[in-house]
Amino acid sequence: MGLLGAHVSTQGGVQNAPERGASLQCDAIAIFTKNQRQWRAKPLKEEEIEGFKENMKRFGIEIALSHDSYLINLGSPKEEIYRKSVEAFVDEIVRADQLDLPYLVFHPGSHLGEGEEWGLKKIAEGIEESLSRAPESRVMLLLETTAGQGTNLGYTFEQLAAIMDMVGDRERLGVCFDTCHAFAAGYDIRTPEAYGETFDRFEEVIGLRNLKAFHLNDSKFPLGSKKDRHEHIGEGEIGIEAFRLLVNDRRFEEHPMILETPGGDVWYSANLKVLRDLIQ
């Protein structure tokens, strides 16, 4: 089994997240290090940073991941938005580093009509520029697999590999596999055969050594629908079998597996229990 957990709230400050995670029996947590719907945020205070680190130990959370703001689009053809995105992304990297987080998960970006090839290049440029502005950073940036809604990029393994190859510093990049998104993008994991094929494909195109984390979500919409709507584990179009395969996959034993299911804390507890009951 991986390190199971959920994306928890940072209400009252990032230092409160570990206790919330522990109260839900999480081994791993994901957080926003700032309000995910605002461009700017005050820098983290020393007591928030220290409090977070202390509480990670005190409450026994093994790993915490950061998720970037929803406003950031490193693929934007609008220069002003692109600039703001790079600024905000650099700030995300700095915050993750201050909190000693090993991974920052981010949505690659949307081309908004300029075309996929153009968008992939723009995103790679944005990542490269952001990394070059945080040269001391130790956080690894994890590109999240996307559903391919609208003009979002990153919905094929080939697109993710293309971005990673274009960025000079490949060592600072990895992938977060979101089960709902990948399924909506057309990657089936519902049977042992389909599951095997999907991860064989991942190995061929990106390399499983670059797969560092999972978002565990069932999907409201069918395979290949390109719609990003999360459902409770086992209650959606993916179904329970895929999650049984994942939590028992020896290759992913040390991987954080983060729930982003709807409904908040009560439902996280229920979903975590469903996942733990699958472990053989």
Give the x-and-dash track for 176-215 against Zn ion (CB under 5 A). Answer: ----------------------------------------
**Residue 92 within binding range of Zn ion, rule CB under 5 A:** no
Which DSSP string corresponds to 68-114?
A: --TT--TT-SSHHHHHHHHHHHHHHHHHHHHTT-SEEEE--EE-TTS
Dihedral, CA of residue 221, residue 188, residue 70 and residue 57, to nearest 10: 120
Q: Name the closest residue to Zn ion (Cβ).
A: 228
Concerning whether 70 is annotated as a catalytic residue, the answer is yes
**Residue 68 within binding range of Zn ion, rule CB under 5 A:** no
Concerning whether 232 is annotated as a catalytic residue, the answer is no
Residue 228 interacting entry, from Mn ion, Zn ion, none, C-beta within 5 to 8 Å by type: Zn ion
Where does this chain bind Mn ion (CB under 5 A)?
144, 178, 215
Residue 95 interacting entry, from Mn ion, Zn ion, none, C-beta within 5 to 8 Å by type: none
Binding segment toward Zn ion, per CB under 5 A, in 89-97, 148-156, 159-167, 223-231: 223-231
Residue 27 interacting entry, from Mn ion, Zn ion, none, C-beta within 5 to 8 Å by type: none
Residues 6+ apart with CB under 8 A from 148: 155, 156, 184, 185, 226
In this structure, the chain runs to a length of: 280
Whole-angstrom distance, CA of residue 45 vs CA of residue 42: 8
**Residue 228 within binding range of Zn ion, rule CB under 5 A:** yes
Comparing CA positions, the residue from 42, 23, 22, 21 lying closest to residue 33 is 42
Using DSSP's 3-state secondary structure scheme, residue 190 falls into coil
Concerning whether 260 is annotated as a catalytic residue, the answer is yes
Shortest spacing between CB 10 and Mn ion, in angstroms = 16
Concerning whether 215 is annotated as a catalytic residue, the answer is yes
If residue 211 lies in a helix (H) or strand (E), which one and from where to where? strand 211-216
C-alpha torsion sign, points 271, 104, 253, 187: positive
Shortest spacing between CB 238 and Zn ion, in angstroms = 13
Concerning whether 255 is annotated as a catalytic residue, the answer is no
**Residues carrying an active site annotation:** 37, 67, 70, 107, 144, 178, 181, 215, 228, 230, 260
